[in-house]
Amino acid sequence: KGTPLKKNDKLKKGQEVKVGEKSRIEVKYPDGTIMRFAERSTIKIDDITYDGKTQSKKVKVDLGGGKLWANVKKLVTADSKVEVKTVNAVAGVRGTVYRVNVDEDNSAMVKVYDGSVAVAGVPKEAAKAPGQFTAPVPVAGPQEVPPPYHEVSMEEWTVIVKAMQQITISPQGVPSKPQDFTPQDDMDDWVKWNQERDKQLSL
Protein backbone atom coordinates (compact mmCIF):
# COMPACT_ATOMS: atom_id res chain seq x y z
CA LYS A 1 0.00 0.00 0.00
CA GLY A 2 1.61 3.22 -1.12
CA THR A 3 0.89 6.70 -2.37
CA PRO A 4 0.96 7.26 -6.15
CA LEU A 5 3.71 9.72 -7.11
CA LYS A 6 2.95 12.91 -9.01
CA LYS A 7 5.27 15.17 -10.97
CA ASN A 8 7.44 17.35 -8.65
CA ASP A 9 6.78 15.18 -5.58
CA LYS A 10 9.80 15.10 -3.24
CA LEU A 11 11.49 11.90 -2.09
CA LYS A 12 13.11 11.61 1.34
CA LYS A 13 15.64 9.35 3.01
CA GLY A 14 14.12 5.99 3.94
CA GLN A 15 11.35 6.09 1.34
CA GLU A 16 10.81 3.25 -1.12
CA VAL A 17 9.50 3.59 -4.65
CA LYS A 18 8.04 0.83 -6.82
CA VAL A 19 7.69 1.58 -10.53
CA GLY A 20 4.60 0.00 -12.09
CA GLU A 21 4.09 -1.75 -15.41
CA LYS A 22 4.64 0.37 -18.54
CA SER A 23 5.94 3.20 -16.34
CA ARG A 24 9.21 5.07 -15.90
CA ILE A 25 10.33 7.58 -13.31
CA GLU A 26 12.89 10.37 -13.44
CA VAL A 27 14.42 11.64 -10.18
CA LYS A 28 16.33 14.93 -10.15
CA TYR A 29 18.70 15.71 -7.27
CA PRO A 30 19.44 19.25 -6.00
CA ASP A 31 22.80 19.42 -7.84
CA GLY A 32 21.27 18.42 -11.18
CA THR A 33 22.16 14.70 -11.03
CA ILE A 34 19.48 12.63 -12.77
CA MET A 35 18.46 9.03 -12.11
CA ARG A 36 15.80 7.20 -14.11
CA PHE A 37 14.17 3.88 -13.32
CA ALA A 38 12.38 1.50 -15.69
CA GLU A 39 9.15 -0.40 -15.11
CA ARG A 40 9.10 -3.00 -12.33
CA SER A 41 12.04 -1.32 -10.57
CA THR A 42 12.20 -1.14 -6.77
CA ILE A 43 14.23 1.67 -5.23
CA LYS A 44 14.95 2.61 -1.64
CA ILE A 45 16.50 6.00 -0.84
CA ASP A 46 19.15 5.06 1.76
CA ASP A 47 20.71 8.53 1.88
CA ILE A 48 20.13 11.89 0.19
CA THR A 49 21.95 14.90 1.61
CA TYR A 50 23.21 18.01 -0.16
CA ASP A 51 24.97 21.14 1.13
CA GLY A 52 24.37 24.08 -1.23
CA LYS A 53 27.32 26.05 0.16
CA THR A 54 30.03 23.40 -0.07
CA GLN A 55 28.28 21.36 -2.81
CA SER A 56 28.94 18.25 -0.73
CA LYS A 57 26.45 15.49 -1.50
CA LYS A 58 25.73 11.95 -0.39
CA VAL A 59 23.35 9.87 -2.47
CA LYS A 60 22.85 6.18 -1.79
CA VAL A 61 20.15 4.28 -3.64
CA ASP A 62 19.30 0.64 -3.06
CA LEU A 63 18.14 -0.95 -6.34
CA GLY A 64 16.18 -4.02 -5.31
CA GLY A 65 15.40 -4.96 -8.92
CA GLY A 66 14.84 -3.43 -12.34
CA LYS A 67 16.85 -0.95 -14.39
CA LEU A 68 18.60 2.31 -13.50
CA TRP A 69 20.11 5.01 -15.72
CA ALA A 70 22.23 7.64 -13.96
CA ASN A 71 23.75 10.89 -15.21
CA VAL A 72 25.78 12.09 -12.24
CA LYS A 73 27.12 15.62 -11.89
CA LYS A 74 30.82 15.70 -11.04
CA LEU A 75 31.52 15.37 -7.33
CA VAL A 76 33.11 18.57 -6.03
CA THR A 77 34.18 17.62 -2.49
CA ALA A 78 36.25 14.66 -1.27
CA ASP A 79 33.50 13.47 1.09
CA SER A 80 30.84 13.41 -1.65
CA LYS A 81 29.46 10.02 -2.67
CA VAL A 82 26.97 8.70 -5.18
CA GLU A 83 26.37 4.97 -4.78
CA VAL A 84 23.93 2.47 -6.20
CA LYS A 85 23.66 -0.72 -4.14
CA THR A 86 22.36 -4.08 -5.33
CA VAL A 87 22.07 -7.26 -3.25
CA ASN A 88 25.68 -8.23 -3.93
CA ALA A 89 27.54 -5.13 -5.16
CA VAL A 90 27.90 -1.36 -4.80
CA ALA A 91 28.62 0.94 -7.76
CA GLY A 92 30.24 4.22 -6.71
CA VAL A 93 30.94 7.08 -9.09
CA ARG A 94 32.76 10.40 -9.31
CA GLY A 95 30.74 12.01 -12.12
CA THR A 96 29.68 9.82 -15.01
CA VAL A 97 26.91 8.29 -17.13
CA TYR A 98 26.14 4.66 -16.42
CA ARG A 99 23.35 2.15 -16.01
CA VAL A 100 22.62 -0.80 -13.73
CA ASN A 101 20.30 -3.76 -14.35
CA VAL A 102 19.27 -6.14 -11.55
CA ASP A 103 17.57 -9.38 -12.63
CA GLU A 104 15.15 -11.53 -10.66
CA ASP A 105 17.95 -13.94 -9.65
CA ASN A 106 19.86 -10.95 -8.12
CA SER A 107 22.53 -11.03 -10.82
CA ALA A 108 23.48 -7.51 -11.92
CA MET A 109 25.07 -5.70 -14.84
CA VAL A 110 26.80 -2.30 -14.84
CA LYS A 111 27.47 -0.47 -18.12
CA VAL A 112 29.50 2.76 -18.18
CA TYR A 113 29.12 5.31 -20.98
CA ASP A 114 31.30 8.13 -19.68
CA GLY A 115 33.77 8.44 -16.80
CA SER A 116 34.42 5.42 -14.58
CA VAL A 117 32.60 3.43 -11.89
CA ALA A 118 34.16 1.51 -8.99
CA VAL A 119 32.10 -1.66 -8.47
CA ALA A 120 32.75 -3.47 -5.18
CA GLY A 121 31.43 -6.65 -3.60
CA VAL A 122 29.05 -6.39 -0.67
CA PRO A 123 30.22 -8.33 2.44
CA LYS A 124 28.20 -11.49 2.96
CA GLU A 125 26.72 -10.23 6.24
CA ALA A 126 25.43 -7.09 4.49
CA ALA A 127 24.06 -8.95 1.49
CA LYS A 128 21.12 -10.24 3.51
CA ALA A 129 18.91 -7.77 5.34
CA PRO A 130 18.13 -8.49 9.03
CA GLY A 131 15.17 -10.82 9.38
CA GLN A 132 15.44 -11.98 5.77
CA PHE A 133 15.53 -15.77 5.41
CA THR A 134 15.85 -17.99 2.38
CA ALA A 135 14.50 -21.49 1.92
CA PRO A 136 17.09 -24.30 2.18
CA VAL A 137 18.41 -25.57 -1.14
CA PRO A 138 20.06 -28.94 -1.92
CA VAL A 139 23.85 -28.66 -2.17
CA ALA A 140 26.06 -31.05 -4.15
CA GLY A 141 28.75 -32.98 -2.27
CA PRO A 142 32.39 -31.83 -2.12
CA GLN A 143 34.26 -31.84 -5.43
CA GLU A 144 37.92 -31.49 -6.41
CA VAL A 145 38.65 -27.99 -7.72
CA PRO A 146 41.38 -27.82 -10.40
CA PRO A 147 44.23 -25.34 -9.72
CA PRO A 148 44.80 -22.46 -9.68
CA TYR A 149 42.31 -21.92 -6.89
CA HIS A 150 41.84 -19.07 -4.50
CA GLU A 151 38.80 -18.57 -2.33
CA VAL A 152 37.72 -14.95 -2.67
CA SER A 153 35.33 -13.54 -0.11
CA MET A 154 32.73 -11.08 -1.43
CA GLU A 155 34.33 -8.15 0.38
CA GLU A 156 37.72 -8.63 -1.30
CA TRP A 157 37.05 -7.40 -4.80
CA THR A 158 36.76 -3.98 -6.37
CA VAL A 159 36.70 -3.51 -10.14
CA ILE A 160 37.10 -0.19 -11.98
CA VAL A 161 34.80 -0.11 -15.00
CA LYS A 162 35.74 2.55 -17.57
CA ALA A 163 33.85 4.29 -20.38
CA MET A 164 32.24 1.89 -22.88
CA GLN A 165 32.89 -1.10 -20.63
CA GLN A 166 30.51 -3.41 -18.80
CA ILE A 167 30.71 -5.87 -15.92
CA THR A 168 28.31 -8.55 -14.74
CA ILE A 169 27.96 -9.83 -11.18
CA SER A 170 26.59 -13.32 -10.60
CA PRO A 171 23.83 -14.01 -8.04
CA GLN A 172 26.64 -15.29 -5.76
CA GLY A 173 28.47 -11.95 -6.02
CA VAL A 174 31.23 -13.04 -8.42
CA PRO A 175 32.26 -10.30 -10.89
CA SER A 176 33.25 -10.80 -14.52
CA LYS A 177 36.23 -9.00 -16.02
CA PRO A 178 35.29 -5.63 -17.57
CA GLN A 179 34.45 -6.07 -21.25
CA ASP A 180 34.14 -3.50 -24.03
CA PHE A 181 30.80 -2.86 -25.71
CA THR A 182 29.75 -0.67 -28.62
CA PRO A 183 26.79 1.75 -28.76
CA GLN A 184 25.32 -0.40 -31.55
CA ASP A 185 25.46 -3.56 -29.38
CA ASP A 186 23.71 -1.78 -26.55
CA MET A 187 20.97 0.11 -28.37
CA ASP A 188 17.45 -0.73 -27.22
CA ASP A 189 14.31 1.26 -26.36
CA TRP A 190 15.44 1.95 -22.75
CA VAL A 191 18.91 3.20 -23.78
CA LYS A 192 17.56 5.27 -26.68
CA TRP A 193 14.93 6.94 -24.49
CA ASN A 194 17.48 7.85 -21.81
CA GLN A 195 19.96 9.27 -24.31
CA GLU A 196 17.19 11.39 -25.84
CA ARG A 197 16.13 12.63 -22.37
CA ASP A 198 19.74 13.53 -21.57
CA LYS A 199 19.91 15.58 -24.78
CA GLN A 200 16.62 17.33 -23.99
CA LEU A 201 17.95 18.27 -20.56
CA SER A 202 21.36 19.27 -22.03
CA LEU A 203 23.17 16.79 -19.78
pLDDT at 139 over 60: no
**4-19 mean pLDDT:** 95
pLDDT at 133 over 70: no
13-63 pLDDT, tens digit per residue, is 999 999 999 999 999 998 899 999 999 999 999 999 999 999 999 999 999
- Give the CA angle between residues 97, 86, 135 to the nearest 5°: 160
Residue 69 three-state SS: strand
Closest CA to 90 of 100, 103, 77, 79: 100
Q: How far is the C-alpha of 12 from the C-alpha of 139, rounded, in Å?
A: 42
SS3 annotation, 93-136: ECCCEEEEEECCCCCEEEEEEECEEEEEECCHHHHCCCCCCCCC
Higher-pLDDT residue of 136, 113: 113
**154-181 mean pLDDT:** 91
pLDDT at 120 over 90: yes
**pLDDT at residue 143, rounded to an integer:** 46
pTM score: 0.82
